[in-house]
Structure 1
Amino acid sequence: MAVAVQIVLDCAHPSAQAAFWQIALDYRLDPPPPGFTSWDDAKKAWGLPEDWDQVSAISDPDGVGPRLFFQQVPEGKTVKNRLHLDVSVGRGIQDPEERWATVVARVERLTAAGAAVVEERRHEHGDHWMVMTDPEGNEFCVQ
């Protein structure tokens, strides 16, 4: 039996981080629980405090990739990530120029959504990727 994986990300603003990573990964916001038309309706019904930006989650619409769960924590990011995500938009594209154009297009889209470019890297064996940070400063790569 396969084990399901959920990646949990500590952050200051779960809703904003979830919105950014939806764009990065082509994921979707988890739908509200059965019987509710929105998460706000569910949270009101459950009597949760008005500060609802404590958690958020997104999932792969195809059910292949792991769910990402964002939880609010009081402390900010202070050091380099020990784990980072690779956004592999060029995987399977054989032509190097087309693959890099696909990477650059995603980088531009993510920059418009609040990411920052750290540096472009190229491996001696031909791999080529962009190191970026998300809106809260977490490092990730686009390849």
Structure 2
Amino acid sequence: MSSTLVPPAEIAADATLGDWRYGVGAIRAEFVATSFPGGAALLAEIAAAAEAADHHPALHLRWPGAVRVELWSHDAGGVTDRDVDLARTISGLAAVAGAEARPLRVQAVEWTIDTEDADRIRPFWLAVLGYSDDPAAFVDDPAGFGPAILFQPMGDGRTQRNRIHVDISVPHDVAERRVAEALAAGGTLVSDEHARAWWVLADADGNEACICTWQDR
């Protein structure tokens, strides 16, 4: 089935997608039902709607009734009109079920490893994490639960900086607040040169993390 990629800016501007946020090639939402059985019932309804559409999201249920949904099109390598259509259907199901949408809580976490030779270190990380053997620069957990790993080329001998840092892709409308909270919690701003795409922060020991969004990329 053919599908058309939908740009992140179009998703963010669409009032019918207010429950959803874009990040790392997918749109995500969280709906919190009034009880755990209520969350399970909503998850079942979403599964039925996905089966009817022949388009299947990643679904997660957590106590006390929080349902996380991730939508993207594998064949197109991003978010398409099929994802957008199903997202609207899911929002409608959640509204009827009385589940509260909490779009500002969704995020995606990645590990980034700076390296001058990705082929030399990739096998180690795949082995210790139990990930599948994949020569790609960007490696996902085949089980769909662990963080993705990005092997980032580094050819300038930056031995003074961390070789491993965490990328946290957050909803675009909470990024600046997240940065401010991290700074208030004792962090330092290493660089905002690429903001709003990402801010580089560090803890008191110099360990780095990036707050990332889809904007300005």
Q: Under a length normalisation based on structure 2, what TM-score does the superposition of the two structures give?
A: 0.24
Instruction: Point out the structure with the larger helix share.
Output: 2
Whose relative contact order is higher, 1 or 2, with alpha carbons under 8 Å and at least 6 apart?
1
TM-score (norm 1): 0.35
